[in-house]
Structure 1
Amino acid sequence: MSIKNDIRLLRVNYLRGPNMWTYRPVLETWLDLGELEDWPSNRLPGFNHRLDKLLPALIEHHCGVGERGGFLQRLEEGTWAGHVLEHVVIELLNLAGMPTAFGQTRSTTQRGVYRMVFRARDEKVARCALAHGHRLLMAAINDTPFEVAAAVADIREQVDRCYLGPSTAAIVGAATDRHIPHIRLNEGNLVQLGHGARQRRIWTAQTDRTSAVAQGIAGDKDLTKRLIAGCGVPVPEGRVVATPAEAWEAAQDIGLPVVVKPTDANHGRGVMLDLRSQADVEAAFPVAAQQGSEVLVERYIPGDEHRLLVVGGQVVAAVRGETASVVADGRSTVRQLVDAQLNSDPRRGESEDHPLNRLVFEEDDVMLGEVTRQGLTPDAVPEAGRRVLILRNGNLAIDCTDQVHPEVEHVATLAARIVGLDIAGIDLVAQDIGRPLHQQGGAIVEVNAGPGLLPHLKPAAGKPRPVGRAIVDALFPEDADTAQVGRIPIVGVAGTRGTTRIARLVAWLGQLRGLRVGLACADGLYLDRRCLASGDARCFDLSHRLLVNRNVQAAVFENDARSVLRDGLAYDRCTIGVVTDIDGAEALAEFDVQSPEQMVKVLRTQVDVVLDDGVAVLNAADERVAALADLCDGEAILYAADPRTPALQAHRASGARGGRAVTLNNGRVVLATGSSETRLAPLSPSARGNLDDDVLLAAVATAWALDIPSDLIIAGIETFDAHHAAA
C-alpha cells in the first residue's frame, strides 16, 4: 500500500459553553481527509488490525451500533478516517485518566472535509490528545511505528496539570450532582459554585465563609490550644521553646515522654512523638524548627491519631492512623525493607489516586529521626526478626466514622467553633474513638483549616464518605422554596429580529422589579444602567463576566448564531430561552451553515438549555421556531401578533389547561392560557409606536414567564425609551 498523505487539520476551535453538539464544552476540529476520502477503513490493507493492536480497548466503544465491539464492526464495514480519529482521541483520553464518551463526526458541504468533535473538559488536554491521536491514526494507516505509552504519558501530564485537586474535585462533583453550576476562576483550585449574587467560592476545602482570622488562629498551634483549652476542650500541656536546651527543660517540666513539633506546619511535617531522652528531644528540635517558625514541646498522649472532619458544625467523617513498621530479615537494609514491605502496598503512591504516600527517607526527616532513635540508619541491616518502627503517624487512612462517640463529636465541633472555622480537620489522639476523651486521657492536638479530603474520599480501609456533598449542603442548604439553588434568573435571547431591543427591554423590566440586572448584548455589557464594556458583548469572554459578578441578581444575554457556533453559550442552563427567528444563514458560510434547516440546529441550543422549571419563549409566526417547543425541558410560551396564527392556536389548545400565549387584540396585549384571556392596560401611542409588534410581544412573554406583574410590565414599556436613550 502506498503512503497516504496526512489528514489536514483545517481549524481547531474550543467551544466553552453549550453548543449545537452537546450541553458541555467540546473541541471542534475541521478535517480535510484529502486522498483518504477515497479510502475508508475496509479498503486500507491491515489497517484495522494495526489499530486494534495499538488500542485494544477500542472493543469497548459501542459507537452507533450500541453494543460492545460496535466501533470495530464499523471499521470492518468501512468508515472514514475522521470518524476513526474521533474514537482514537477518545481512547487516548480514557487511557490518560480523563474518561470521555461523547464524540461526533459529520460531513460538510465540501468533499472530504468533516467536522469532528469530542468532549473536552480542558482545552490544553484536548489539543494534546488531538495531536497524538492524529499521529497515531496516520501511523496505523501507513504502518509506521508509534509509541502509545509515550503519548498517553504526555496527555496524562497535561491532565495532571489541569485537573482540580481531589478535595476541590469532590466538592465540584457534589455540586454538579445537585445541578449547581461551577466556574473555575484560576488554573488552580479556586472555584465558584453558583452564579452572580447566589454564588459561593471554594479553594480546596476552604470556602468564602472561612475567615482569615480563623485561619490565622488555626495556623498557630499554641494559640489554638490555649483558646480551646479555655473553653473546656482537653489538650496536652505544652509550651513554645527557642533552643534545644529550652526544649529539654520544657520536657522535664512537662514530664516525659513528650512531643516536639512546629507550631505552624501541617501534614505531620516535623512532628516527633514519644521522646523519652534528652538526646531525642534535642535532636528533634532542628527537625521541627526546619518546618515551622516556632517549636512546641507538649505532653505525649498514648493512643492512635485520628482526624475528624467538621463541616458546618457537624462531624461528617473520621479516619484513624496506624504506625508503619517493618520486620527485618537479616539481609536487607532498612530502606530495602521499607520498599519491599510498605511501599509495595498498591495503596501507596505519589498520585492523588493513592490514599497512602510512599515512604522516602530523603523526603521525611521524621522517618529518619525515628530510625536514628533506634540506633539505625536507612542503609543499616537490622538483625532478623527485629521490628523497626518507621513512622508513628501520617497514615490517617482508616475510616472510623461510625465509631465516633457523641461526646467526642461534641468536643471536636466545639473546637472548630471556638477557632471559628466552617470546615476544620480536628486532630486528636485517643486509644478508643468510641469512648469519651476524658475517660482515656485523650486530647485534641491540632485544629486545621483547609483540611485535605482525600483520606475520607479514598480511605485505605473502610468505606468512603460523601464529604464533598456535606460541604455543598452546608454552602447551599436544601430549601423547598428555592427551586434552583445557586442560580440567578438567566434570560437568553437568540435570533436576528430585534433581539438587542428585546434584551434591553427585558433587562429594564427586571430592574423595575428591584433586581440588579446584568445585560450582555450587541450594544455592550451593562449592570443596571452602568456600561461595563462598550462594543458587541455577544461573546463568551465578555458576557461570562456577568455570572462571576457578585452584584448580578439576574442576567440577560443576547445570542446570535455566530456566537453559538464560535464559543457556545456563556451559561450552562437558563430560566428563559427566547428564539425570535432562524434568519441569517447567508452570513455563516464559514461555519458551513447555508440553510434554515441548519440554522434550526444552531438556535435550538437556546431552547435545549432551558431548565425543567423554565420557559421557552418562541415566535409562533415561524412554524420552525414554534416547533422548538417540543424540545424544551420546561414550558413554552408562544407569541404572535395575529391571534389566528395556526401554531399559536394549536398551542393554546394543547394540554389539559391549554398552553400560554401572548398576542394582540385591537392593539392591546393579551395574555392567554388556553381559552382564558387577560388584556393588559392600553399603551400610550408613543410607547406603542416605538416598539415593533414582535419585540413588544417577545418582551412581554418573557416578563410574564419571570412572574413580573402586568402593571409593572406596562409601566416598564412606557418608560423604556427614556431609559434606553439615557443608557
Structure 2
Amino acid sequence: MQVAEIISTLGPSRRAEVAVMEMVLTAEAGEADQFDDIASGLQRALPARLAESGLVIDAGTWAEVGERETGIARLAGYVCSIALALQNAAGHDLKFHDFVQDQAPGSDEWRYRFIFQHDDIASGEQAGDLAMRMVSELCPQLHWQPKLNDAGQPLAACIAEFIDACRPFVTPPETLGLMAAARARGIPVLRLEREPYGPLPARFRVAPNGMIMLGHSQYRIILDGLFCINRPGPGFSLMNDRRAMWNLLAELGIQRAIDDASLKPAASPIRVRRTARRLGYPLRIRPQQRDPSCVEGWRVENESDLDALLARPDLGNRSFLVEPDTTGPRLDLLMVGGELLAALQDDRIVDVDARTEAQARRIDQALNCGIVLVRFRSAADNREEKAQSASDWLVTDIDPSPGLATLLQSHPEVLDAAYEGYLNWLYPPGTPCRIPIVSVTGTNGKTTTSTMIARMAHAQSLFVGMARTTGVYFDQELKELGDNSGFHGHCSVFEHPEVELAVLETARGAALHAGFAFDYSDVAICTNVSHDHLGEYGVETVEDMAAVKRSIVERCTGSVVLNGDDPLCLDMLPHLPDRTLYLSTFGSDPDEMRKKAAGKSTSVDPIIHIDTREGEDWLVMDSAEGVTPVIAVNDIPATFNGAARHNISNAMHAVAAAHALGLEWSSIRQALANFEMGFESLPGRLNVHDNGRFHIIMDYAHNADGLQQLVRFTDQYPCKGRRILRFGVSPNASKAACRNAAATVAGHYDHYLCSGVPGHDNDDGIDTTAELRRGLLASGIAESQVEIFSDVSRSVEYPAGLCEPGDLLILVTSNALLAKTWEKILKT
C-alpha cells in the first residue's frame, strides 16, 4: 500500500468545510485481505504507543473509529486520528477527519482517501507522514516508508521535533473563536497568514497567525487578532508603544500605576538599573514596543533577578519601560461594543463601583476599537482594605486585543457574548458584509460567459471584479495576468476595496486541489460537462467530473443556471433543492424542457431558449412572469451571425445569470450588442486577424468539445482557399483523448499540423503528436495532408508560410502561449 497523491486544500472544499489533507493511497489486490487483521491489531496496540508518545485521541473518536464496518475504514480512522493528535499536541485545535473509498474504472485497483483537517499545509503533511510511520512500526506488513522525516531517527525524537516546528503556526484561540462566530453570522472570513498568503512576522504584530479579513471588498475589515487595523483611532499606537498608553491615561486624567519619571525608555542595561534603583523593587520590566510573546513583561524582585534578565540573549537591543509592580488585587473590566460586558476578579464575575466603570468607559470611548480590556490593580496591600475605597484602583494596562480564551475560560457564555458583541460593533445589524458572487464552472465557455456577465454589470455602472483563466480584472482593466480561475484569483477580487460584484470563473482543478475562497455564491453556472482532464486528482470518469462541477454549483444558495441540453447538467437538478433553477436550451421549447426536468426537480423556471421571430433567431426568456425577447442572435457580434454556436450558448447562460442578479434588460442588451471576441478582452477565444492576404483564427480549443465548437465555426467561416489547422492536446492527454481530438477535426481541413513535442512520452508513455497523426490517418486523412510540427520558435511563421491568398489558418494554442502567439500573428 502506497501514497499515490497528497491533496491539501486551502479552504472549504467538496470534502469538508475546513481545510483538509487528502492522502490518496492504492493497494495491491493481496493487501486488501489483511486490512481487518491490521485494524484489529492497531486497536489493541495503539493506546500504549499513544500514551508513550504523549498523544491524546478523545474517547468519542476512538469509539467511532472502532465501530467502522471495514478494516480499511478503521485503518484510515486511526491514521487520521493520530495526525490530528500530533497537530493538537503542538497547540492546534483540529477535529475533522473522513474516509472515502473508490475504484479506478476498468481495473481491480481501489483508491483509499485518508482525509483529516490541517491548519498549516506543511504541518499537515508532516503529521500524516508521522502517523503512517507510527502505524507501520506496529504493522510492518504495510511497508510504509516515511518521506518527510528521518527513518533513522527514533520516532519519539521525530515527534518532539515536529511539535516544536509546528507550534509557531498555531492560530490564536481568539481568532478561531471570532472566525466561528463570524461564519455563524454569515460573515465571510479569509485567512491572511495561510496560503496563498505568507506569514507576516513583526514584533509589533498583535497576534501572530491571527490576521484575517472579514467581509468582502468594500465591506472588508482587517483584524490582527481582535484588533481592527483599518478603523481610525489611537489603538495602534498603544499596541506599538507602551508609552502611548501612559500618555493617553494622563490626557484623560485617569489615575495610573506609574509616575511621569519612569516613562523615559531605558535603552541600555545601565539605564534599566538606574531607573530600577530609583523606583525600588518589586518592578515590572516591559518592552517599550509591545511584544505578543511577553505582553506581561517580567517581574523583578531584586538586583539578582534584574541581572539575570538583562543577561538573556533573546532580548536583543530593545528599549524597556521600568514600571513599579503593584502587589494588590487585580480587577479586569472588559468593554465590548461600548458597553461593560464583564468585570472579573480572581476568575469571578463581580460587580464594580460606578467610578471605576466610568474610567474604563472613558478609555474605551477614547480608543474606539470595539473591544478593550482595562486592567486595574489595587494600591492597597490586602483585600479587606481594598474593598473600602474605589479610589484605590489604579490602571496598570490597556489591551485592545485581549486574550479572551484565557480570560473567560471559566465563563463560556460571556466568551460567546464577547464575540457576538464585537461583531455587532464591526457590522451593526443591517450593515452589509458581502458582495454578490457569480461562480462559473463547466468544461468549456467559462471565460466567455464570465466576461459577458461582467460586461452586463458594467453597463449598469457596477464596479466588477472578475477572476478568470486569463487574469484578474477590475472594472474591465487587467490587473494580474495568468490563470486566476481558483483560490488566489478569487482572493484578489475580495481584497479590492471598490468591487461591488464578483464574477469568478471556477475551474475544476482549483476546486479539487485548493478548495474555495468563498463560503457560498449567489448565482452559479455550469456550462457543460465533457470528457476533459480525466485521470487527474482521482477524477477518472465523466460522471466523476460532473460530481466535481456539481460540488461547485451546490455551494450556491440563490440561482443556478444549467445547460439543459447536457444530460450530466440535468442530472444535477435533484441535488439542488431550494434554489431558483434556470435552464438553457437550443433544441427544446420551454414546455419540453420543463417536462424533461420534471422528474429531476420540483420546479424549473425560467427557460432561456432560441425562438424564431420574423425569420430571425432570438434569445428568449420564458418564465412564470411571461415571455421576454432579449436580443436577436445576429445582433451579438460574438456569435458571428450565428456561426459561433457555442457563443450563443454562452450568451444564454450570461443572460440567465444577469436576470438572477436583477440587472436591467437594457444593460443586458447593451452589453451583448457590443460584445466582440477581440484579443484584448478575450485572448484565445475566436480571435480573428486579417493580414490582407489570408485570415488567421487563434483559439484555445484545448479539448474535444472545444475542437468540436471550433470545427462548427470554421466550417461556416468564409474561405476561398485552403483551410489549414495547427492543433495539439495536453502533454498529459491519454491515447483515447488524442484519438478523439483527431477524429473531431478529421475531414474539416485541407492540411493538418500536429503540434507538440514529438518523441516525448507523457507519464503514461504516450507520444501525443504521434497519436494525433495515427488518429487522423485512421479517420481517412491522407499522409500528404498530415505533418508533425514542433518548432516552437516558428510556431506561427511556419504555418503562415504554407498559406496563400484566400486561405484560412487556424491556430490552436495553449493558454500560456496566447500572448506570444498573438504577437506573432500580428506580424504576419
Would you call these one fold, judging by a TM-score over 0.5?
Answer: yes
Query: Which residue is equivalent to 2:9?
Result: 15
Which shows bigger deviation, 650-659 or 230-239?
A: 650-659
Query: Which residue is equivalent to 2:365?
Result: 417
Equivalent pair of 1:680/1:714 in contact (CA under 8 Å): no
1:306 paired with 2:331, answer: yes
Equivalent pairs counted in the alignment come to 615
Query: Which residue is equivalent to 1:163?
Result: 170
Q: Distance in 2 between matches of 1:247 and 1:55?
A: 51
TM-score (norm 1): 0.72
Which amino acid in 2 is paired with 1:132? L
Q: Distance in 2 between matches of 1:61 and 1:439?
A: 49
Of the candidates 95, 101, 109, which is equivalent to residue 106 of structure 1? 101
Equivalent pair of 1:184/1:190 in contact (CA under 8 Å): yes
Q: Distance in 2 between matches of 1:487 and 1:571?
A: 10
- Matching of residues 392-403 of structure 1 within 5 Å: 398-400=347-349, 403=351
1:565 paired with 2:512, answer: yes
SS of the aligned residue for 1:721 comes to coil
Instruction: Summarize the Cα distance change of 1:210–1:560 in structure 2 as closer, same or farther, 3 Å threshold.
Output: closer
1:34 paired with 2:28, answer: yes
1:600 paired with 2:546, answer: yes
TM-score (norm 2): 0.64
Query: Which residue is equivalent to 2:465?
Result: 518
Query: Which residue is equivalent to 1:536?
Result: 483
Q: Distance in 2 between matches of 1:685 and 1:189?
A: 54
Which shows bigger deviation, 598-607 or 83-92?
A: 83-92
Which amino acid in 1 is paired with 2:536? E
Of the candidates 671, 692, 704, which is equivalent to residue 621 of structure 2? 671
- Matching of residues 100-139 of structure 1 within 5 Å: 100-109=95-104, 110-121=107-118, 122-139=120-137
**C-alpha displacement at 1:619, in angstroms?**
1.6
1:589 paired with 2:535, answer: yes
Query: Which residue is equivalent to 2:796?
Result: none
**C-alpha displacement at 1:707, in angstroms?**
1.1
SS of the aligned residue for 1:240 comes to helix
Q: Distance in 1 between matches of 2:547 and 2:519?
A: 17
**C-alpha displacement at 1:521, in angstroms?**
1.8
1:84 paired with 2:39, answer: no
- Matching of residues 17-416 of structure 1 within 5 Å: 17-34=11-28, 36-42=30-36, 47=41, 50-51=44-45, 53=47, 54=49, 69=63, 71-74=65-68, 79-80=71-72, 84-94=75-85, 96-97=87-88, 98-109=93-104, 110-121=107-118, 122-142=120-140, 153=160, 156-157=163-164, 159-186=166-193, 187=199, 188-209=209-230, 213-217=234-238, 224-225=245-246, 227-235=248-256, 238-241=259-262, 264=288, 267-270=295-298, 293=319, 303-321=328-346, 398-400=347-349, 403-416=351-364
**C-alpha displacement at 1:12, in angstroms?**
1.5
Of the candidates 660, 663, 666, which is equivalent to residue 708 of structure 1? 663
**C-alpha displacement at 1:184, in angstroms?**
2.1
Which shows bigger deviation, 180-189 or 503-512?
A: 180-189
1:618-674 Cα shifts (integer Å, max 9, x gaps): 122224313423323533222224334644356699999973333343344443433
SS of the aligned residue for 1:544 comes to helix
Q: Distance in 1 between matches of 2:58 and 2:176?
A: 30
Which amino acid in 2 is paired with 1:215? F
Q: Distance in 2 between matches of 1:425 and 1:162?
A: 26
SS of the aligned residue for 2:438 comes to strand
**C-alpha displacement at 1:698, in angstroms?**
0.5
Which ranges in structure 2 are unaligned for 5 or more consecutive residues?
A: 144-150, 194-198, 200-208, 265-270, 683-828
1:98-121 Cα shifts (integer Å, max 9, x gaps): 433331232332433414141333
Of the candidates 648, 659, 662, which is equivalent to residue 608 of structure 2? 662
Which amino acid in 1 is paired with 2:5? R
Q: Distance in 2 between matches of 1:71 and 1:284?
A: 52
Query: Which residue is equivalent to 2:202?
Result: none
**C-alpha displacement at 1:223, in angstroms?**
5.5
**C-alpha displacement at 1:528, in angstroms?**
2.0
Which amino acid in 1 is paired with 2:581? A
Which shows bigger deviation, 538-547 or 575-584?
A: 538-547
**C-alpha displacement at 1:457, in angstroms?**
3.4
1:151-186 Cα shifts (integer Å, max 9, x gaps): 765554455232212232222222232232322222
Instruction: Summarize the Cα distance change of 1:705–1:319 in structure 2 as closer, same or farther, 3 Å threshold.
Output: same
SS of the aligned residue for 1:590 comes to coil
1:352-410 Cα shifts (integer Å, max 9, x gaps): xxxxxxxxxxxxxxxxxxxxxxxxxxxxxxxxxxxxxxxxxxxxxx142x523455333
Equivalent pair of 1:526/1:532 in contact (CA under 8 Å): yes
Equivalent pair of 1:14/1:26 in contact (CA under 8 Å): yes
Which amino acid in 2 is paired with 1:532? K
Instruction: Summarize the Cα distance change of 1:154–1:231 in structure 2 as closer, same or farther, 3 Å threshold.
Output: closer
Equivalent pair of 1:663/1:670 in contact (CA under 8 Å): yes
Which ranges in structure 1 are unaligned for 5 or more consecutive residues?
A: 1-6, 63-67, 274-279, 322-397
Instruction: Summarize the Cα distance change of 1:118–1:592 in structure 2 as closer, same or farther, 3 Å threshold.
Output: closer
1:458 paired with 2:402, answer: no
Which amino acid in 2 is paired with 1:199? R
Q: Distance in 2 between matches of 1:296 and 1:126?
A: 42
Instruction: Summarize the Cα distance change of 1:643–1:102 in structure 2 as closer, same or farther, 3 Å threshold.
Output: farther
Query: Which residue is equivalent to 1:698?
Result: 653
Which amino acid in 1 is paired with 2:71? T
Query: Which residue is equivalent to 1:503?
Result: 450
